Homo-oligomer: A and B are copies of this chain.
Amino acid sequence: MQNTDQLLAAFENYLGQTELPAEPQLLYAPIGYSLAGGGKRIRPMLLLLAAGLFSDDIAAALPAAAAVEVFHNFTLLHDDIMDNAAVRRGKPSVYARWGRNVAILSGDAMMISSYRLLSAVPPARLPQVLAVFNDMALEVCEGQQYDMDFESKPKVSVVEYMHMIELKTSALLAGPTVIGALLGGASEEECRKLRRFAVELGLAFQLQDDLLDSYGDERLGKAIGGDILEGKQTYLMVTAMSRSDEADREVLRSTYRDAALTDAEKIARVKALYDRLDVPRLTEQQIRIRFDRALSVLDTLAVDPARKAPLRAFAESLVGRTK
């Protein structure tokens, strides 16, 4: 059994050895740039840790781990075009550096590359693994579309928001977790439980991300209040709206309308409203509920607790930053 650091090292080593063609340069250079940009490798790690619950043969799971990481990075490439995002992980996005057409086509090639990596899973497992991967990929697109729909939707309910992030965020954790389990040799029932675990973990993770964007620690290197300034639908915003009266909504509208306000003033006004409506506490509570559900499902899995410890610790490392 390998620990988390060893798995990450094995993954980075495998990904580093995956050579890209040199030509056409404008197709492949952005892919290398994107994959070298780091990130937390959350999805491949979940895949390897899930495989490790049932098997010590991690090598067999590495191509699929690379596939989900490449797919995740593909979604970032295209999302950055759609969101007009100039910066990704502190560096210029592919879109900003090479332009729209290169980001579209390199993204396409990246998605195809993820399928090529996936095709290296043991043939006996391929049909199942491919089906899970396809479902995941389509769910992520659906989530992204709902997220874009929300930009022009006058009112988004909490239920609609949770549905969107279950597609956009949770699917991209659940897919890798189930694929890892399948490659480790898990039963259908075990896969079902691990999917539930990852979906709840993903919801907790996204809600925490929403909370940190407005209430996080500036020392973490992220500017505070970006979501508020963009007028983005987040768990905080949809929760506030669900608890607001007409006067509250007028405060919001006037805040966004008032061109004389500085960014800092806008953020302060919206956060004052959130605080008054008890939104931060309700968000923390929801994060805790979802995370506890994830761990409870993991507890019911009939696997040696020592084997579960690394996955459990990894989940805790993802959703623990608000405490």
Cβ-neighbour of A145 out of B105, B126, B130, B144 (below 8 A): B105
The CA of A122 and the CA of B4, in the complex, are separated in Å by 37
Answer yes or no: A141 CB below 8 A from chain B CBs: yes
Q: Kindly supply a per-residue 1/0 record for chain A positions 165-186, scoring 1 wherever the CB is within 8 Å of any chain B CB and 0 otherwise.
A: 0000000000000000000000
Answer yes or no: A123 CB below 8 A from chain B CBs: yes
The CA of A274 and the CA of B148, in the complex, are separated in Å by 49
Q: Interface residues of A toward B: which range?
A: 35 or more
The CA of A116 and the CA of B141, in the complex, are separated in Å by 14
Answer yes or no: A109 CB below 8 A from chain B CBs: yes
The CA of A60 and the CA of B112, in the complex, are separated in Å by 24
Contact B26 A108, beta carbon cutoff 8 Å: no
Answer yes or no: A81 CB below 8 A from chain B CBs: yes
- Given the interface pairs A82-B105, A145-B24, the reply to whether A134 lies near B111 with Cβ below 8 Å is no
Contact A119 B127, beta carbon cutoff 8 Å: yes
The CA of A24 and the CA of B164, in the complex, are separated in Å by 10
Contact B113 A138, beta carbon cutoff 8 Å: yes
Answer yes or no: A256 CB below 8 A from chain B CBs: no
The A interface, classified by DSSP as helix, strand, loop or mixed, is helix
A117 CB to closest chain B CB, in angstroms? 9
A189 CB to closest chain B CB, in angstroms? 22
Contact A141 B112, beta carbon cutoff 8 Å: yes
Contact B142 A115, beta carbon cutoff 8 Å: no
- Given the interface pairs A105-B78, A142-B27, A144-B105, the reply to whether A115 lies near B127 with Cβ below 8 Å is no
The oligomer's copy count stands at: 2
The CA of A104 and the CA of B111, in the complex, are separated in Å by 13
Cβ-neighbour of A149 out of B24, B115, B127, B145 (below 8 A): B24
Contact A26 B145, beta carbon cutoff 8 Å: yes
- Given the interface pairs A113-B138, A127-B119, the reply to whether A24 lies near B78 with Cβ below 8 Å is no
Contact B24 A146, beta carbon cutoff 8 Å: yes
Q: Which residues of B contact A109 (CB under 8 A)?
A: 138, 141-142
Contact A145 B82, beta carbon cutoff 8 Å: no
The CA of A148 and the CA of B111, in the complex, are separated in Å by 20
Q: Which residues of B contact A108 (CB under 8 A)?
A: 78, 107-108, 111, 141
Answer yes or no: A254 CB below 8 A from chain B CBs: no
Provide a sorted-by-A list of 12 A–B residue pairs whose CB atoms are within 8 angstroms. A24-B145, A24-B146, A27-B141, A78-B104, A108-B141, A109-B141, A112-B137, A113-B138, A115-B130, A119-B130, A123-B127, A126-B126
Measured CB to CB, the residues of A under 8 A from B are 21, 23-24, 26-27, 78, 81-82, 100-101, 104-105, 107-109, 111-113, 115-116, 119, 123, 126-127, 130-131, 134, 137-138, 141-142, 144-146, 148-149
Interface contacts beyond A78-B108, A82-B104: sample of 18 additional A-B pairs, CB < 8 Å, sorted by A: A24-B142, A24-B146, A26-B145, A26-B149, A27-B141, A27-B145, A78-B104, A78-B105, A105-B144, A105-B145, A107-B108, A108-B108, A112-B138, A115-B115, A115-B130, A119-B131, A126-B130, A130-B130
